Amino acid sequence: MAAGPPAPMEGRVNWQERLEYGFQQRHGGPLEDQNNAPPQQFIMGRWETYAEEERRHAAHQHNLRLQNDAQRQIDHDRETLQHQARMAELQRQREMEALQHQAQQDELQRQQQHQRDMEALEHQNNVAQQQQMDQQAEAERTQEAINNNQALAALPKACRPYHDPTQRFSMGPMSVKCPHCHALHFKSERLTNSSNIRPRFGICCLQGQIQLPPFSEPPQLLRQLLTSSTPRARNFRERIRQYNCAFAFTSVAVKVDEAILNGARAGPYSFKIHGGLYHSMGTLHPQEGRRPSYAQLYIYDEQAALAARNIHNPNLNHALMADLQDMLIANNPLVPLYKQAYQIMQETPPELQDNVRVSIVMQPGDDPRRYNLPTANDVAAIIPGSGEEDVNEHRGIILRHKNGGLKTISHLNLLYSPLHYVMLFPKGDHGWHTKIDIVQPEGGSARSKYVSQRCYYAFRLHPRPMEPSDLFRGGRLFQQYIVDAWASIEQSELNWVRHNQKTIRADLYDGLRDALRGVQGVDLGQMGKRIVLPASHPGSARHMYQLFQDSMAIARHCGKPDIFLTMTANPNWAEVQDNLLPYEPDDDDPDQREKNQTASDRPDIVARVFAQKIKAMLKDIKDGVFGDVHGYVFTVEFQKRGLPHIHLLIFLGDLTRSAMPLMLTPSSPLRSLTLWLIPCCMRPSQSA
């Protein structure tokens, strides 16, 4: 806005100063200097002039003020108009900006709405497409599942995908009693021609043909040691073989695998031997320079005998040794027999004592089926002599005074087991012998007149609820007793083969004859043996070669085997654990380590359970668990730690065999299949 003329200065006019100023302008000097007395007319005229000027000046001032006010009003009005114009312009600009902003917002909202609509439409399209794809995939999966189910339905059960079974295979409890001898069995052990309602069993007593009285009840001390959980009883059971050897009448000649016996490897205890097993007995009088041992200690003073036993066994409990010695002296009838025999030898003339011999034999009139407590006056007779008398080696025990060294006792003697296993038979219960009569069945005839050795031990190794169970509580000694029984049976069979070469027609084995006929300078020691073991003897070279030839014939007929299966006995099987005998709790030891037996204490249960599981497994294989099976070959072996296992080769049929590669192709959904093994039982190496 343009600035106007400067506003006049308001105020009162100083006329004195104006007069002086006007006078000086006209006369060229101050008012006082003009003769120091200005005329009155001049003054008055000046006053009038000055008053007029003042009036003009006031009028001018008034005009100026009016002009200024008018100018200010004009300027104010102009400024107001300009301000109003600017405000209007600003308002218009704001309205334009608001309209532009609104238009932009509307455009943005329209674009966003359009984008949302497009996204919603795209999402709907995607959802519809995804639903279509899902439906298509579901249809494909359904079709694939249908195809797989159809394919799986055509597959053998063992070739299908593995799923944990809802129920494990179980043989049931070992609670079925034999109707003849009351031995406890699993139901699967029944004869095939018997029913589930009335099962019959043949392995225990040949359906009543074998009837043996139970063993005698053990002394109370031995019963407590075998059934209690006290530290003393546990220590006795851990060293029961050493305690038994300390009080045995005979020694055992055998090569024992000490690496297995001493537990060098982890696993259950196992008694393993190499070669034959024999019981030996020395003279009743120890050789010079040697300490007495075994039966020699029973003819000594009790305290001296106990001291000798403690010297031989410093790691055993000496107090328990004294108690066991008193128990055997009070209960074992063989102790007075040996003392009486030694007394008879001492009563002979001194010149005959070195070669004198005494035989302990069964009385000729005794019933060999009687198993009551033997005494010197009832069961046995002592016959002194030189040893040349006609005494059956299987019925008598020949005792020598000084000369003769170690002599082997016949394994067919009825005192073979009680002379050594004094902790299993503390009352001298007789073992097996050759004259145990068999019971003839009604309406038929028995296969033999006497009880065989194998049938005797099969009868004894079946527990019965009404008979003492102390034999099965022997632990490691019981395991040795079973091995000893097997070695005795094997020796009997070898002896029969040795003495029946004509019966088995050994002259038909022409290998030696052909070798001598076709080879010059042959070493006969390398070409043949005098005793021929037939193929019917398990474990012989001809038996193994015959099995090998049978297996090769099966492989030649069926082709290469398709499945190699191995199953090992598990000591934690429920059928094994449920039949282990319990121990009585120890009130003084709440933290007792053992409450039941271990599987190594009952090899009979492990073998029976494993045999039945093999039987069940082979039945499932025959029923088609692997498909069409044309044949199989298997062998049963025992591990170094004593547990059995089976190696089985299975020959599948052509259809099943042709389908096996398809099941293992990379694109096949069955590639990840795992062949499941049913829990399944002991039989010699066989082929089928």
How would you write 576-596 as a 3-class SS string? HHCCCCECECCCCCCCCCCCE
Task: Supply the DSSP symbol for 601.
Answer: G
Residues 388, 256 within the same domain: yes
* pLDDT value of residue 504: 76
Out of 418, 437, 456, pick the residue that ends a domain. 437
Find the angle CA(414)-CA(418)-CA(424) to the nearest 5 degrees: 135
Query: Looking at the domain assignment, is residue 429 inside a domain?
Result: yes
User: From its phi and psi, is residue 174 left (phi > 0), alpha (psi between -120 and 50) or beta?
Assistant: beta
Find the angle CA(417)-CA(421)-CA(427) to the nearest 5 degrees: 85
* pLDDT value of residue 329: 92
Beta-carbon neighbour count of residue 584 at 10 Å? 13
Out of 437, 457, 473, pick the residue that ends a domain. 437
Cβ-count burial of 128 within 10 angstroms (0-12 exposed, 13-18 middle, 19+ buried)? exposed
Query: Looking at the domain assignment, is residue 517 inside a domain?
Result: no
Q: In what order do the strands lie in the sheet with 407-409?
A: 251-256, 273-281, 407-409
* pLDDT value of residue 473: 93
- Per the structure, the complete domain to which residue 621 belongs is given by 559-688
* pLDDT value of residue 377: 41
Query: Looking at the domain assignment, is residue 446 inside a domain?
Result: no
CA 58 – CA 62 distance, rounded (Å): 6
Beta-carbon neighbour count of residue 521 at 10 Å? 4
* pLDDT value of residue 101: 87
Contacts of residue 414, defined as CB under 8 A and 6 or more positions apart, other chains included, come to 362, 368, 395, 430, 431, 432, 433
* pLDDT value of residue 164: 80
Query: Looking at the domain assignment, is residue 193 inside a domain?
Result: no
Residues 428, 564 within the same domain: no
Residues 89, 224 within the same domain: no
Query: Looking at the domain assignment, is residue 291 inside a domain?
Result: yes
Please count the structural domains in the chain. 3
Spans in the chain with pLDDT lower than 50: 1-5, 7-8, 10, 31, 33-35, 37, 263-264, 363-391, 662-688
User: From its phi and psi, is residue 206 left (phi > 0), alpha (psi between -120 and 50) or beta?
Assistant: left
What residue type is 633 in one-letter code?
V
* pLDDT value of residue 454: 92
Q: What are the angstrom distances between the C-alpha of 296 and each of 159, 331, 370, 443?
A: 66, 18, 29, 52
Task: Supply the DSSP symbol for 184.
Answer: E
Q: What are the angstrom distances between the C-alpha of 154 and each of 473, 652, 655, 669?
A: 51, 15, 11, 15
Contacts of residue 6, defined as CB under 8 A and 6 or more positions apart, other chains included, come to none
Query: Looking at the domain assignment, is residue 52 inside a domain?
Result: yes
Residues 102, 224 within the same domain: no
Q: Which residues are 437's β-sheet partners?
A: 450
In the three-class reduction of DSSP (H, G, I as helix; E, B as strand; rest coil), residue 285 is classed as coil
What residue type is 28 in one-letter code?
G
DSSP string, 39-77: -HHHHHHHHHHHHHHHHHHHHHHHHHHHHHHHHHHHHHH
Query: Looking at the domain assignment, is residue 513 inside a domain?
Result: no
Residues 416, 564 within the same domain: no
Out of 61, 92, 108, pick the residue that ends a domain. 108
Strands (E), 489-587: 563-568
Query: Looking at the domain assignment, is residue 449 inside a domain?
Result: no
Residues 445, 210 contacting (CB under 8 angstroms): no
* pLDDT value of residue 188: 92
Residues 100, 224 within the same domain: no
